[in-house]
Amino acid sequence: MSQTDRTRALRPATRMVHAGTMRSQFGEMSEALFLTQGFIYDTAEAAEARFKGEDDGFIYSRYSNPTTRMFEERMMALEGAEDARATASGMAAVTAALQCSVKAGDHVVAARALFGSCRYVLETVLGRAGVACTLVDGRNLDAWRAAVTPRTKLFFLESPTNPTLEVVDIAAVAEIAHAAGARLVVDNVFATPLQQKPLELGADVVVYSATKHIDGQGRCLGGVILSSKAWIDENLHDFFRHTGPSLSPFNAWTLLKGLETLPLRVAAQTANAALLADHLADSEKVSRVIYPGRADHPDAAVIARQMSGGSTLLAFEVKGGKEAAFRFANALEIVSISNNLGDAKSLITHPATTTHKNLSPEDRAELGIGDGLLRLSAGIEDAADLIDDVETALAAT
């Protein structure tokens, strides 16, 4: 039984400290950083055997590296996936997962509320390769069904969505995809691997930007693709080896150490987010609070079925549009203005003028992104200090 098989039976917090560890002959306590491009063989025969696949040692860090493999194995244990490939960024993970699922002439159906770069990959990168795409309202199951054509091979969605934290019914969409002979890829960044398990809900592939909660301390970019061993062998393995979206071993080591504290950080961030959501909902200066842990969330029934423990993110609309939203953000002293999320530091974003500025005003309105909307990613600071900070900002709007 491998290390991963043994640790898979353990609870997530234990797995995040131990799963995937491969110790060298020196018995180091902390995971070793193998900062090497290549590997050396004792004999020409040994090199020949490795290239033939007769022994499963490492060949070249574009294909695989011991530190990177430890990160992949720990992610597999957390997600309950048979295999994984780590990538240089979240977008490298999304791009590889989507490109490897389709060929010219195929058709993709995707939920419209997408991270801007994901939309570019779907419409422009895949579009140039002769793949058509239909965008639908992800919460409308009839819209998914209606968009299917005989050429549909792939469904893609994010949930909760950015920035309005809408939640798509992953199990229902997976069923529609499979009935159409298509596969479902889910970008699970906002939920983290702790609060939502897309593979258990029926998704075929799950992708992460490890840049967000998995690092969670603002240090490096990274991504990961998780799926069945068969899907990775058949669809991703050769593409990954030959096109080189691989994660640097140094960043893999940083992310591996990040995973050790992921459950602690996500629990603290979620507790802070829930508190801030309730606090903001009580203010007469706020017209709307969207938090996937509150009973008044429009998708509360789906959330109860498919997510656990709320969210580290909240969105809210201040009365007074862009001017009030800017005054709120500028008055904050602990919460920083940034488009990043999932960090130990609390961060606030004004989507209409930053992450979603490239959408037309009509598209923004359709996605519920008003000029007064702010997205807050809760950090691990003391809750009382965050509440004080938000109180000061509310007074300034």
Ligand X SMILES: *Cc1c(COP(=O)(O)O)cnc(C)c1O
Give the closest residue to 369 by CA, choosing from 316, 328, 331, 332. 316
Residue with smaller CB distance to ligand X, 162 or 397 = 162
Which pair of structure tokens corresponds to residue 300? 């509360």
Least distance in Å: CB of 209 to ligand X? Answer: 3
Q: Which stretch binds ligand X (CB under 6 A): 20-28, 46-54, 87-95, 103-111?
A: 87-95
Residue with smaller CB distance to ligand X, 162 or 306 = 162
Which pair of structure tokens corresponds to residue 66? 């011991």
Q: Are 84 and 72 in contact (CB under 8 A)?
A: yes
**Binding flag, residue 206, ligand X (CB under 6 A):** no
Task: Please count the CA atoms within 13 angstroms of the CA of 48 that sit on its side-chain side.
Answer: 3
Whats the size of the chain, residue-wise?
397
**Binding flag, residue 91, ligand X (CB under 6 A):** yes
DSSP 358: T
Q: Are 280 and 328 in contact (CB under 8 A)?
A: no
Residue with smaller CB distance to ligand X, 90 or 198 = 90
Residue with smaller CB distance to ligand X, 308 or 340 = 340
Site string for ligand X, 129-168 (x = CB under 6 A): -----------------------------x---x------
Residues from 222 through 241 that contact ligand X (CB under 6 A) = 223
Task: Please count the CA atoms within 13 angstroms of the CA of 276 that sit on its side-chain side.
Answer: 39
Residue with smaller CB distance to ligand X, 162 or 227 = 162
Residue with smaller CB distance to ligand X, 106 or 187 = 187
Q: How is 50-111 classified by DSSP, letter by letter?
A: HHHTSS----BTTT--HHHHHHHHHHHHHHT-SEEEEESSHHHHHHHHHHTT--TT-EEEEE
**Binding flag, residue 311, ligand X (CB under 6 A):** no
Least distance in Å: CB of 210 to ligand X? Answer: 7
Which pair of structure tokens corresponds to residue 69? 């493999």
- Select from 100, 189, 266, 289 the one that contacts ligand X (CB under 6 A): 189
Cα–Cα distance, 191 to 373 (Å, whole number): 20
SS3 194: helix
Q: Which stretch binds ligand X (CB under 6 A): 4-12, 30-38, 183-191, 365-373?
A: 183-191
**Binding flag, residue 115, ligand X (CB under 6 A):** yes
Q: Which helix (H) or strand (E) holds 254?
A: helix 249-281
Residue with smaller CB distance to ligand X, 135 or 189 = 189
Residue with smaller CB distance to ligand X, 177 or 189 = 189
Total residues interacting with ligand X, rule: CB under 6 A: 16
Site string for ligand X, 271-310 (x = CB under 6 A): ----------------------------------------
Give the closest residue to 85 by CA, choosing from 243, 236, 293, 299. 236
Interface contacts to ligand X, rule CB under 6 A: 89-91, 94, 115, 118, 158, 162, 187, 189-190, 209, 211-212, 221, 223
